Amino acid sequence: MSSTSVSAHHKITRPNAVAVGTIVWLSSELMFFAALFAIYFTTRGVQGPKIWLESNHLLNIPFAAANTTVLVLSSVTCQFGVFAAERFQSRKTGKMYQINKWGMREWFSLTFLMGAFFVAGQIYEYASLVHEGLTLSSTAYGSVFFIATGFHGLHVTGGLIAFLIVIVRVAKARRFTHGQATTAIVVSYYWHFVDVVWIALFSAIYLIK
């Protein structure tokens, strides 16, 4: 068998059945977040812009923007991990500082750390807002803010758990299989989804006055 045919045989393609199932599930998640957006803008319309701005000024926009940047960049590192998985490279083939030789494990580990940084930043922001008197039950603004961002934070945490499971499974496996590569791709779909949702949330909550 020629090297070309072997390469073609082992080259992974995007999972069809799994991808369809994942997209259907993410569509239901999209409807869930659409409902949260509807609640946010409805409450904002009922309360009026003056009351909304009184609470909105408590937000630390530069800090949130920096935290958002980290999460968005984590999608880039996640995708590099997917590229490595597609060529069946589970781990680095060189030194740690040679990022061009990183495998899926290294890229996903970096993505995990960036996602954990985002969650930690969100917890810090929550603590600061509570210290300023904005809580889940203090005002209507506080309720929709903590519910919308909190549910997103739970989704990010779920993604971190998924990354951890993939990394541990690959580390324990004797060889990197097609099924493991498929799992990595599906996890990336989810991670890109939560990143896009956060960009929309950040724009609606922090930027639109």
pLDDT of residue 18: 63
pLDDT of residue 16: 56
Mean pLDDT of the chain: 86
DSSP for 134-168, please give it.
--TTT-HHHHHHHHHHHHHHHHHHHHHHHHHHHHH
* Model confidence at 83: pLDDT above 90: yes
pLDDT of residue 27: 81
d(CA 103, CA 64): 30
For the chain, the domains span 15-207
Q: What is the pLDDT averaged over residues 26-51?
A: 83
d(CA 176, CA 105): 11
Please state, as a whole number, how many other Cβ atoms lie within 10 Å of the Cβ of residue 47.
Answer: 16
pLDDT single digits (tens) 162-183: 999 999 999 888 888 888 888 8
What are the C-alpha distances in Å from 201 to residues 94, 99, 151, 195, 207? 39, 32, 11, 10, 9
- Assign 171 to helix, strand or coil: helix
Residue pointed to by tokens 């940047």: 69
CATH code reported for the domain at 15-207: 1.20.120.80
pLDDT of residue 121: 97
d(CA 146, CA 141): 9
pLDDT of residue 19: 65
110 — pLDDT class (breaks 50, 70, 90): very high
DSSP state at residue 94: S
pLDDT of residue 40: 86
41 — pLDDT class (breaks 50, 70, 90): confident
Residue 25: what are its φ and ψ, rounded to 5°?
A: -65, -45
**Residue % of the chain over a pLDDT of 90:** 52
pLDDT of residue 139: 85
> pTM value?
0.84
d(CA 146, CA 136): 6
Alpha helices in the chain (DSSP H): 3-10, 16-47, 49-56, 61-86, 104-131, 140-172, 178-202
* Model confidence at 4: pLDDT above 70: no
Tell which wins on pLDDT, 28 or 187: 187
pLDDT single digits (tens) 137-168: 888 888 999 999 999 999 999 999 999 999 99
Contact 79, 188 (CB under 8 A): yes
